[in-house]
Amino acid sequence: MENKRNIQIIEWEHLDKKKFYVFGVCMTMIIRISVYPFTLIRTRLQVQRGKSLYNGTFDAFVKILRAEGAAGLYRGFLVNTFTLISGQCYVTTYELTRKYVSQYSSSNTIKSLVAGGSASLVAQSITVPIDVVSQHLMMQRLGDSMGRFRAQPHQGKRFPVFGQTRNIMAQIFKADGLRGFYRGYVASLLTYIPNSAAWWPFYHFYAEQLSSLTPKDCPHLLLQAISGPMAAATASTLTNPMDVIRARVQVGGKSSIILTFKQLMAEEGPWGLTKGLSARIISATPSTIVIVVGYETLKKLSLRPELVDSRHW
């Protein structure tokens, strides 16, 4: 196991895989519930033209809560939970890739960079169709829609489970066929592969730097809890321009990244590329703390019994 000063890294071969996946799904669900409202707000801010509806993150939160209630902040959430599958594929790919790359390089930065990018590639291939549908559901407002498609109101007394989802999926398929569910796939890869590839090296970099500045007895989890949000803010700032374009391609139906970029620059200028950044960082900060602390704790809880007995963590 690697030891960078006093930061210990638990690798894939040291884990009890059954515990790892069971605990991982529970942890991921808790995180998604807590940050989903800001994901919805970020998407609406990125898609709206100028400040036609919302003036910022707080303004959007208040207006959505007043007009649509708490349920409005969770539009599309049930569909979005299917990304739990991609989340588990992400961590598995990340850990296995780290293990493979370690045969050729002992550099933690290189292992994190390659593993993060590879994990994001696999995860996005699963996530994009789910994201396309859930984002269209996020755009549904009372009696209106900010996206291409509008969910038809149900005439009965009770709305069937996933009724809006089926309706949106039918409209996407009718308009674009199967390729409609992968609209913005390239833009997603150009957003999340760099984001993931940047987050992991920055995370380890910040953790190592903080470790060198703090006493040896400083808790590992405290350093990691601080490093995670710092890395998330850095990666989010670097990749937000492409994230804005990705959202507009997927929700607005633009087929070209370049045309979407040109239109955005013509309408809103360079500041348009920063839309939703504050919501993204706000959602990333608590979620990243939970992810980092939870993920490191998860790995410790998932250690093989013989390692728990023989090593101190």
16-72 pLDDT, tens digit each: 777 777 777 777 788 788 889 988 998 899 888 878 889 888 999 999 999 989 989
Is 143 part of a structural domain of the chain? Answer: yes
10 inside domain: no
- Is residue 9 assigned to a domain? no
Structural domains of the chain, count:
1
E-assigned strands of the chain?
2-4, 7-9, 140-141, 144-145
| Enclosing domain of residue 140 | 17-307
pLDDT of residue 255: 63
- pLDDT, residue 3, reads 44
44 inside domain: yes
Query: How many whole angstroms from its chain centre is CA 9?
Result: 23
**7 found inside a domain:** no
The sign of the torsion formed by the CA atoms of 13, 109, 301, 311 equals positive
Contacts of residue 155, Cβ cutoff 8 Å, sequence gap at least 6: none
Cβ atoms within 10 Å of 22's Cβ, excluding its own: 13
- CB count in 10 Å sphere of residue 152: 12
* pLDDT, tens only, 68-114: 899 899 998 988 888 888 888 888 898 889 889 988 888 877 888 89
Span of 130-134, 139-143, 172-176, 254-258 with lowest mean pLDDT: 254-258
Q: How far apart are CA 236 and CA 213, in angstroms?
A: 25
The CATH number given to whatever domain includes residue 81 is 1.50.40.10
Q: Are 4 and 297 in contact (CB under 8 A)?
A: no
Q: Is the pLDDT of residue 271 over 80?
A: yes
Looking at per-residue confidence, does 239 or 23 come out higher? 239
CB atoms within 10 A of CB 69: 11
Mean pLDDT of the chain: 81
Residue 261: Cβ-neighbour burial (10 angstroms; 0-12, 13-18, 19+): buried
Two tokens, residue 148: 């291409």
Strands 140-141 and 7-9: unpaired
What SS3 state is found at 56? coil
Cα–Cα distance, 34 to 218 (Å, whole number)? 28
What pLDDT is attached to residue 62? 93
Residue 164 included in any domain? yes
Q: Which of 110, 86, 83 is nearest to 97 (CA)?
A: 110
**φ/ψ of residue 253, rounded to 5:** 85, 15
Q: Is the pLDDT of residue 226 over 80?
A: yes
Q: How many whole angstroms separate alpha carbon 105 and alpha carbon 102?
A: 5
**Is position 4 within any domain?**
no
